[in-house]
Structure formats: C-alpha cells, structure tokens
Amino acid sequence: MPYEVWRKKRLSRTHDVDPVKNTKAERERFRRGWAAMCKKANDLYLDGIENGRDRRVYMVIHDVRKNRQGKGKYTSFNSHPRESWVPSQDEVDEHYPITKKVTPADFGNNLAGKPGAGRLQSLSKGRQRLFKISKPPLWAYS
C-alpha cells in the first residue's frame, strides 16, 4: 500500500528532538487525514443523492494522547446534522440485513496485527504488470 511506504520512511528517520515540531507535524497529519476522510464521506453521500438513494454518513474520532490523563477530544462528521438519526450500537447489531463490520485488521494495518492478513489488501495482490519495457539495444561502435 502506498500509505505504508511513506509511513515506514517517516518512522525510520531519526526523530526530531524538538517536541514542538513533532506536535505540529502530528496535528497537521491528523488535519489532512481528517479532511480527506470527510471529503470521501461527503462524496459517498453526494453519490447516493445522484443515484436516488438516501445515504446517511456519520463518523466520529476520539483522540486521546498516549500516556496522558484526560478525556481527549471528539471530532465528528454528520451528513444530516439537523436530524437525530444516528442509531445506537444495539440497533446496528439487530438490523437486517446483517451489518458489514470493518476493523483495522481488514486493511492489513501493521498496528492491528500481522501485515498482509487483511481481506481488503489481498485484493490488490492479484495485480500484474501489463507490459514490460525491455532494455534498449546496445550500439556497437567500430
């Protein structure tokens, strides 16, 4: 996965000694990731409208710093903010058809377990190169 490549590079580098820079970089990564997730969720919602479906999207992140005491902070995205529609966990579990549940292990995330164990990552393993560029011919000089 492309995400894994740059993440490994970032983790292998010597860490900055300046904690202010580290904190700022972490905040910026979170902000960019959150903005990308919200854009994808909104695109999914708008695609449903275009196809005549009533899709409702709700995401929440609870962010707590490691080794810190406190409540942390919640960040949420709601496609229908003026309606009280978010179901409880019991409603989701009892709903039919059965709810599809996705966990970090399904993406082959190194933090969740062994890499490559995920179902979604196995789909990308079947890709093959469609053509190969051969080496150019060597010119013989006389």
pLDDT tens-digit profile of 23-80? 898 889 999 999 999 999 999 999 999 999 999 999 988 888 877 777 888 889 999 9
Asked if residue 139 belongs to a domain, the reply is no
Domain membership flag for residue 53: yes
Question: Which domain range does residue 95 map to?
Answer: 2-100
Cα gap 86→4, rounded to integer Å? 33
CA 77 to chain centre: 15
Is there a domain that residue 26 lies in?
yes
Asked if residue 113 is part of any domain, the answer here is no
| Cα gap 142→127, rounded to integer Å | 44
- Residue 72 counted as domain residue: yes
Report field, pTM of the whole predicted structure over 0.95: no
Residue 136 lies in a domain: no
pLDDT band at 119 (very low <50, low <70, confident <90, very high): very low
Number of structural domains the chain divides into: 1
C-beta neighbour count of 46 within 10 angstroms: 12
Residue 65 lies in a domain: yes
In this structure, is residue 142 part of a structural domain? no
Position 115 scores a pLDDT of 45
Q: What separation, in Å, do the N-terminal and C-terminal C-alpha atoms of the chain show?
A: 48
The residue that leads in pLDDT, 95 or 4, is 95
